[in-house]
Amino acid sequence: MSRVMVVGVARYLGARLARLLSEDPKVDRVIGVDVLPPPSADLGAIDFVEADITTSAINKAIARSRPDVVVHMNILATRADAGGRVPQKEINVIGTMQLLAACQRSDTVRKLVVKSSTAVYGASPSAPALFAEDMAQNAMARSGYEKDASEVEAYVRGFTRRRPDVDVTILRFVNVLGPAIRTVLSEYFVLPVVPVVFGRDPRFQLVHEEDCLDALKLATVESRPGIFNVAGDGFLVLSQALARAGRLPMPLPTLGSPIVRGLMRRAGIADMDSVQTRFLTHGRGVDTSRMREQLMFVPRFSTVDAFDAFVEARARGGILDRERVAAVDQVLRSVCGLDGRQAGLDVIE
């Protein structure tokens, strides 16, 4: 029986998690905190508390609502979400410090769940193919969000030392994608022609939005302290993802130049910063064995499933759409007189 506070409830995943938890029999009460109320008014049985986590207002909110579990979902991946790099850093770093200070004060909080990101590992040519959870410290070249996420985790580690009685779970998610969520990556893949870095084909993993919520819920409801990478099975490379979405790649020497960034901004895609362009140059892989063995979480969707679910909902009808390719293939087969053969082979097998 517990009272759960979800910090960052105005955003898509925060609002969905709060709803999901409010429907769980193990949770008595869900308190949602954010600077604005969630856009869709149907909060169900959630108590909304308006508080800015970059101020001591969060301390009052925690003192008043006396939660047992605090879920920190207020770490923003893009500066566009916050309205610039300065407020982004303010919300991520100062917000976390204020929240942790309040949790440290509280005599009710016994569990803290932090939604972090695999961005803490950075993306570089000298990165190992798969990052395990204990390899974040020696990761390279951090700036922007990568640096924020690492600093946030450093403060959380400090908190763990000062309050050893509180269970702390840090979930490092790979990019979240699915039919509904809007992220820099989702907006990138709906461009009709997608700028890519020439001569690079980054590998990446995805986690489906439903799996992301399930993992957060599991960490909130059960006791699974520790740091865990969370990703769906398998990998995609960028060219393969674009092919699956029927998108044409436009190779450019770099995505980091002001011209390219300006063009992408004008094309309506969220502002990319160096963290995203580095990710789209070098890619990243994380090891998920700890997720299976210790968090005991099994994602329902693989990386490819998550991407296909996104394509089905948002990116059909591209120039190289699957159906068009299949139609051309069919035409070529009948021109060559191959159309009967495929069926014949199948029968033999």
Partner 1 sequence: MTSLIDMLGDEMAGRAERFLGFARRRLTGDFTVDSFGFDAELTENVLLPALRPLYRNWFRVEVRGIDNVPADGAALIVANHSGTVPVDSLMTQLAVHDEHPASRHLRALGATLVFQLPVVSDLARKSGSTLACNEDVEKLLAGGELVGVWPEGFKGVGKPYSERYQLQRFGRGGFVAAALRSGAPIVPCSIVGAEEIYPMIANADFLARLLRLPYIPITPTFPWLGPAGLVPLPSKWIIEFGEPIETENYGDGAADDPMVVFDLTDRVRDTIQQTLHTLVEERGNPFI
The site for partner 1 (CB under 8 A) is made up of 125-130, 132, 135, 197-201, 203, 234-237, 239-244, 282-283, 285, 320, 322, 325-326, 329, 332-333, 335-338, 341-342
- For residue 175, the minimal CB distance to partner 1 (Å) is 16
- Closer of 131 and 173 to partner 1 (Cβ): 131
Positive or negative torsion for Cα 93, 163, 71, 305: positive
Q: Decide if 210 contacts 300 (C-beta within 8 A).
A: yes
- Closer of 35 and 141 to partner 1 (Cβ): 141
Q: How far is CA 267 from the centre of its chain?
A: 23
- For residue 230, the minimal CB distance to partner 1 (Å) is 15
- For residue 240, the minimal CB distance to partner 1 (Å) is 4
Q: Which DSSP string do the residues of 33-98 spell out, in sequence order?
A: EESS--SSS--TTEEEEE--TTSTHHHHHHHHH--SEEEE----S-HHHHTSHHHHHIIIIIHHHH
- For residue 329, the minimal CB distance to partner 1 (Å) is 5
58's CB contacts (< 8 A; 6+ apart) are 7, 33, 51, 52, 95, 98, 99, 102
- Closer of 39 and 199 to partner 1 (Cβ): 199
- Closer of 135 and 190 to partner 1 (Cβ): 135
Q: Which residue has the tokens 């502002």?
A: 271
- For residue 179, the minimal CB distance to partner 1 (Å) is 18
CA–CA gap between residue 245 and residue 147 (Å, rounded): 31
- For residue 244, the minimal CB distance to partner 1 (Å) is 4
- Closer of 142 and 282 to partner 1 (Cβ): 282
- Closer of 219 and 245 to partner 1 (Cβ): 245
- Closer of 55 and 254 to partner 1 (Cβ): 254
In the numeric block, which tokens belong to residue 30? 């869900």
Q: Decide if 70 contacts 99 (C-beta within 8 A).
A: yes
Q: Which of 136, 12, 23 is nearest to 74 (CA)?
A: 12
CA–CA gap between residue 123 and residue 253 (Å, rounded): 18
Cα distances from 87 to residues 54, 77, 168, 237, 255, in angstroms, run 10, 12, 26, 33, 24
DSSP 286: B
- For residue 273, the minimal CB distance to partner 1 (Å) is 21
- Closer of 85 and 282 to partner 1 (Cβ): 282
- For residue 125, the minimal CB distance to partner 1 (Å) is 4
Q: Decide if 286 contacts 229 (C-beta within 8 A).
A: yes
- For residue 227, the minimal CB distance to partner 1 (Å) is 17
- Closer of 60 and 198 to partner 1 (Cβ): 198
